[in-house]
A and B are shown apart, each in its own frame.
Chain A
């Protein structure tokens, strides 16, 4: 079945898809190279990939296999040098910078290994940031932020700054922040990487439970095999390439 993919900036491309199921994320022959000094490092080397809407997919692989880069490319943090990436109606690989920012702001939620909270803001203010960037009304965004903090079990810590929170608490705040704009796609890069196993398990539970509840498509880069077991699909990368991995039934 052919699917016509439209870029919000205009123009259209046709992609042949071998599956009859509508795919949310489509990557076609994506390449991305870093320069490290005089050496070129192929972080992503010719990846073709489709991910269904609403699925929880894990990216597994050793360090340097290209997991984070792939997430960044799909999330619009980096732009691939070759190939096409489309996410739903967004032709991510071709979006101009302002549209790319809008895509990240309204469509994608990020959870990072290092939490990446803004140190001068409190927990509730950190959660609010995506809505601040969209110009949402202060009262409404504060109410939503508090509700999300309550959902992640941190209502009592709303007024604390990141340096006053534990690692697990900071990641909970980051999860709440990732969800406040009601994204259709959630990208998590090693969300439990800086946490102990117990805390990590709690975060995984929170992340997957909340996203499944909301019908989010989730893409998680992780070393955590326990997390991978709970995903709908596992993809393994090595040296920037996808290894053949059967999808979970």
Chain B
């Protein structure tokens, strides 16, 4: 019997019970849709986490963190100090191209204002003479911010909102004066200063303290350069010289950190190539410094995501397997209803194998149809969810740096996997009915109603 004939007979038989087909396929559709959506959740998490990692820095960069901010004499303050000698030691490691010390103010601590526009962004204090050797390139002006100056990342201008919290047309800031604004909520002139998270400053006022008026610290800065786009978090960073950041921290915490004694907050280390990241990272760890790299984090994330993806896919797979019970029931009903027809076919010379294959073709059809519709529905759902989330994020003033990202992402392997899984479940479900039908006694089957 030819394949086309199996298909033709399958279509004829399935067309006779359309409602039953619809309900059976619907169960498979639900299972397939769930697999798509659940794996897309995992895929979205993985993609966004990996993009966060990549945007934090290039894959050939290593971030060395130290004990910046701990008061002198505090336990552990002597180890991990990223001072000049640490910088020299790390720069001497084979494979290291450049080292950039930095002190970064956390996102949300400061705002950049220009006329009545406001932007939230990262502010990093760096030695101006180290930015060019590290590889910073400017699309306009200079890469080295001197005193009273700022170099902006390529995407900073897009981050401005107006007084009505609407996204503003990106202003041309090159050569303009912008203001770095820091706020604190102190208890008045004599009240204790506020925390600068991560900088070891005094804690916030205790519970029950009377609410205080915010105090503003404004630093006017001239924009002397705009960096070329890098595709990383640097595009949404303002670069100032170290002293500007230290001044802000002193105003915030009442204490001015000293890089000479307590070192820098972090060192960015650039390697000659991605292949050298791991050996350089190990060498830095051997110097008793904490070093992380987007590459190693990416590897860890990928490993963890595999487990997460598998778990999420398993949830969807359970639904798919349950739908197989529906397929089995439908095929058993079909075998029962078509007893006489099976007898006729066998009397005319159909083998047991041909009868079984007819039923397995029907089961396969149900599985594949359910998989295809489920794939389409799952894709549609992910698009709808992403559209809703993106629409919400686009209007959010407090969004993190970078363009809004979709939360669901369907990995490339999912469509094929869904089709194969649905087909296997359907065929497995149809196996018993197929074998039962194929072994019917011909004479008894012919006597059936």
- The CA of A135 and the CA of B1, in the complex, are separated in Å by 4
At the interface with chain B, which of A110-118, A204-212, A231-239? A110-118
- The CA of A69 and the CA of B345, in the complex, are separated in Å by 19
**Interface 0/1 of A99-142, CB less than 8 Å to B:** 00111111000101010111111000000011011110010000
Shortest beta-carbon distance, B172 to chain A, in Å?
A: 73
- The CA of A110 and the CA of B344, in the complex, are separated in Å by 10
At the interface with chain A, which of B80-88, B125-133, B183-191, B348-356? B348-356
Given contacts A116-B446, A120-B15, A133-B348, 7 further A-B contacts (CB under 8 A): A72-B443, A77-B446, A97-B351, A104-B347, A130-B349, A132-B2, A181-B349
B443 near A78: Cβ-Cβ < 8 Å? yes
> With A118-B341, A129-B345 as given contacts, are A98 and B351 in contact (CB-CB < 8 Å)?
yes
B354 near A112: Cβ-Cβ < 8 Å? no
> With A77-B443, A112-B446, A132-B1 as given contacts, are A105 and B348 in contact (CB-CB < 8 Å)?
yes
B346 near A101: Cβ-Cβ < 8 Å? yes
Q: Is B5 an interface residue (CB 8 A)?
A: yes
B354 near A133: Cβ-Cβ < 8 Å? yes
Shortest beta-carbon distance, B445 to chain A, in Å?
A: 10
Q: What are 16 A-B pairs at a CB distance below 8 A?
A: A72-B443, A78-B443, A97-B351, A97-B352, A102-B351, A103-B349, A104-B349, A114-B446, A116-B347, A118-B341, A120-B15, A130-B348, A132-B5, A133-B349, A133-B354, A135-B2
B344 near A118: Cβ-Cβ < 8 Å? yes
Q: Which of A69-84 contact B (CB under 8 A)?
A: 72, 75, 77-78
> With A77-B442, A77-B443, A78-B443 as given contacts, are A129 and B12 in contact (CB-CB < 8 Å)?
no
Q: Is B340 an interface residue (CB 8 A)?
A: yes
- The CA of A112 and the CA of B344, in the complex, are separated in Å by 10
- The CA of A104 and the CA of B446, in the complex, are separated in Å by 15
A116 near B12: Cβ-Cβ < 8 Å? no
Contacts of B351 in A (CB 8 A): 97-98, 101-102
Residue of B nearest to A106 (CB): B349
Shortest beta-carbon distance, A136 to chain B, in Å?
A: 9
Q: Is B48 an interface residue (CB 8 A)?
A: no
Q: Is B16 an interface residue (CB 8 A)?
A: yes
- The CA of A102 and the CA of B345, in the complex, are separated in Å by 12
**Interface 0/1 of B333-365, CB less than 8 Å to A:** 000000011011111111111100000000000
Residue of A nearest to B346 (CB): A101
- The CA of A110 and the CA of B442, in the complex, are separated in Å by 13
Q: Which of B68-97 contact A (CB under 8 A)?
A: none
A129 near B347: Cβ-Cβ < 8 Å? no
B349 near A102: Cβ-Cβ < 8 Å? yes
Q: Is B210 an interface residue (CB 8 A)?
A: no
Shortest beta-carbon distance, A98 to chain B, in Å?
A: 6
Q: How large is the interface on B (under 10, 10 to 19, 20 to 34, 35 or more residues)?
A: 20 to 34
- The CA of A152 and the CA of B339, in the complex, are separated in Å by 29
Shortest beta-carbon distance, A57 to chain B, in Å?
A: 20
B12 near A121: Cβ-Cβ < 8 Å? yes
Max count, chain A CB within 10 A of own CB: residue among B344, B349, B352: B349
**Interface 0/1 of B253-294, CB less than 8 Å to A:** 000000000000000000000000000000000000000000
Contact among B1, B2, B340, B348 for A110, CB-based, below 8 A: B348
Residue of A nearest to B353 (CB): A98
Residue of B nearest to A114 (CB): B446
B442 near A129: Cβ-Cβ < 8 Å? no
Interface residue ranges, B against A (CB under 8 Å): 1-2, 4-5, 12-13, 15-16, 340-341, 343-354, 442-443, 446
- The CA of A135 and the CA of B4, in the complex, are separated in Å by 10
B16 near A133: Cβ-Cβ < 8 Å? no
Residue of B nearest to A97 (CB): B352
Contacts of B446 in A (CB 8 A): 77, 112, 114, 116
Max count, chain A CB within 10 A of own CB: residue among B2, B16, B446: B446
Max count, chain B CB within 10 A of own CB: residue among A72, A110, A112, A118: A118
> With A120-B12, A121-B12, A135-B2 as given contacts, are A129 and B348 in contact (CB-CB < 8 Å)?
yes
B443 near A133: Cβ-Cβ < 8 Å? no
Contacts of B350 in A (CB 8 A): 101, 105, 133
Contacts of B343 in A (CB 8 A): 116
Contacts of A181 in B (CB 8 A): 349
Contact among B12, B13, B347 for A77, CB-based, below 8 A: B347
Residue of A nearest to B2 (CB): A135
Shortest beta-carbon distance, A228 to chain B, in Å?
A: 24
Contacts of A75 in B (CB 8 A): 347
- The CA of A181 and the CA of B347, in the complex, are separated in Å by 14
A120 near B13: Cβ-Cβ < 8 Å? yes
Contacts of A116 in B (CB 8 A): 340, 343-344, 347, 446
- The CA of A120 and the CA of B351, in the complex, are separated in Å by 20
Which 6 A-B residue pairs are closest in the complex by CB-CB distance? A105-B349, A104-B349, A120-B12, A101-B351, A116-B344, A77-B442
A101 near B349: Cβ-Cβ < 8 Å? yes
Contacts of B353 in A (CB 8 A): 98
Max count, chain B CB within 10 A of own CB: residue among A77, A114, A119, A132: A132
Residue of B nearest to A112 (CB): B446
Q: Which of A150-181 contact B (CB under 8 A)?
A: 177, 181
- The CA of A168 and the CA of B274, in the complex, are separated in Å by 84
